[in-house]
Amino acid sequence: MIKTTLKRSLFIVVSVLIIVPILELTRECVAYVSISRRLEASNQRIALGMRRDRVVEIAGNPDSVSGGDDCPIYYWSATDHQGPLWRLLGLTQVKGHRELTVSFDQSGCVTQFQGGVN
């Protein structure tokens, strides 16, 4: 009886140690794919002259902003959304990720944009 309980407990612990990381890797992968698809769709929907708030509504908050307040440049990259477990296991890649860059003028309208795969 004790041997059976010990085997069952060991099976549960080993299962959890295997299943939980696999579930987290899957969750991180689904999140990354979702962001990649959003950036791809955003690139197709953004147009010259579009207002900054509309761009953010379409693409979400940028991963980084440069260029100052006068003429900001918003940047999104799926690379930044590879999960911590992927990084810990060395599964991340530098190339082959969706990116989107949008430049705005002083009035907050799109002056140029570029999206694609790095």
Going from N- to C-terminal start, the domains of the chain cover 2-117
Which residues, 6 or more positions from 78, have their beta carbon under 8 angstroms from its beta carbon? 32, 35, 36, 39, 97, 98, 99
From 73, 61, 79, 68, select the one nearest 111 (Cα to Cα): 73
- Number of other residues whose CB lies within 10 A of the CB of residue 29: 15
List of the chain residues with pLDDT < 50: none
Question: What CATH number should be reported for the domain whose range is 2-117?
Answer: 3.30.1450.10
pTM beyond cutoff 0.85 = no
Vertex 117 angle, CA 61 and 43, to 5°? 50
- pLDDT value of residue 87: 82
